[in-house]
Amino acid sequence: MGSFSRPRSKRAQVSIKVIEVKNWKHVRQSKKLKKQNTWYNWVSATCSTACIFILRRSNLEWKFNVLRHDPTVIDLLLVSIHAAISTGRMDLLPDCPINNITTLTKALNDMPALSTFQTAPDLPLALHGLTLPCKTLLSWLCTMQHGLASLSPDSPLHIPSMAGAHQFTMATPTAKRALFNAHVKRDPLTRVVFHGTAMCRLYSIVATGLKVCSGTPLEANGAALGRGIYTAQEPSASLGYCVQSSGWPNSAFKNMRVLLGCEIAGFGNKHGLGTYVVPDEAMLVVRYVFLMPVTQVVPGSYLLGEELMGRYGIIKGTVGVAA
């Protein structure tokens, strides 16, 4: 006798159809964006919740694909996690699947250099030898919606004046982008600003964006000029707040500092020579993450600001990229 399946209700059929339409929409969007050759939109499409849901249920080769093609992104996140647990503050790691500092520390100590996965002939086999906490940590980082991508020197988004830094771009989540664009509509003038931070806070920034922490337990440097996110027009001013990190044991990044290149809609509250206090976090988005050796100096705002503003146009899709 043939198998019998109960017919789905109309509501269930509609729900399935909606999911299929959404998934095909992402496929069509990805194909279209490949033709447009715009990095920002490609990352935005692949960082959707629907795609992440599918990725987390895919086979190992697909789930850990970033270890093949962009392991420096995962290395950077592991550096930030290592710095966060060194402070003893798990609140700096929202949604971390390992909530015990001892277990998390051991996972980082047991983690091999990520280059071993990039060159491994059989990635699933290489992953098989890891401890369960290591696998859990890597799986989480490889499938989260971080929107980070490293830049090679020949990328059209690479910043020449920051050649000594490891450069990453960071896509803005759809909801945050809509809020930022609403501010831009009211005040079309945007500008480049910088934010220096400790490495221990980078993961939280990547996961949830820059937040107003004035008057909260996460406040780091006081709020002498009022409540808000503190940014500077001059990168050298922000550099003073960049606290270096030693990195996790097998990291390729040792003794690094992190500087964020941001875009602000409007001016926030300007104080003195180029200090901007942003009271509304929706007015500010992170565009670039610069990972720098402690000995590196930064160029002035005129040169770096001009280069970044040009790249922001490419990232937002308002300026085309040569094929």
Instruction: Quote the mean pLDDT of the chain.
Output: 79
pLDDT of residue 213: 60
pLDDT at 307 over 90: yes
Query: Of residues 54 and 288, which shows the higher confidence score?
Result: 288
**Most confident region among 76-85, 87-96, 182-191 by mean pLDDT:** 76-85
Q: What is the β-pairing status of strands 256-265 and 284-293? A: antiparallel
Work out the pLDDT band at 220, boundaries 50, 70, 90: low
pLDDT at 43 over 60: no
- Fold classification of 148-316 is Phosphoenolpyruvate Carboxykinase; domain 3 (3.90.228)
| 181, containing H or E segment | helix 174-186
Average pLDDT, integer, range 260-288: 84
pLDDT at 233 over 80: yes
Q: Which of 140-144, 156-160, 261-265 has the lowest mean pLDDT?
A: 140-144
DSSP secondary structure letters along 214-230:
TTSTT--S--TT-SSEE
What digits encode the pLDDT tens for the residues 44-75? 444 555 454 444 444 456 678 889 889 999 99
Q: Which residue from 161, 164, 198 is spatially nearest to 309, judged by alpha carbons? A: 161
pLDDT of residue 174: 82
Query: Of residues 14 and 274, which shows the higher confidence score?
Result: 274
- What is the end-to-end Cα distance of the chain in Å, rounded? 58
- Sign for the pseudo-dihedral over CA of 118, 39, 309, 201: negative
pLDDT of residue 252: 96
Where along the chain do its domains lie?
13-57, 148-316
pLDDT of residue 241: 86
H helix runs in 87-163, sequence order:
101-110, 115-118, 123-128, 132-143
Would you call 50 helix, strand, or coil by DSSP? helix
CB neighbours of residue 245 within 10 Å: 24
Q: Which residue from 224, 227, 221 is spatially nearest to 241, judged by alpha carbons? A: 221
pLDDT of residue 5: 38
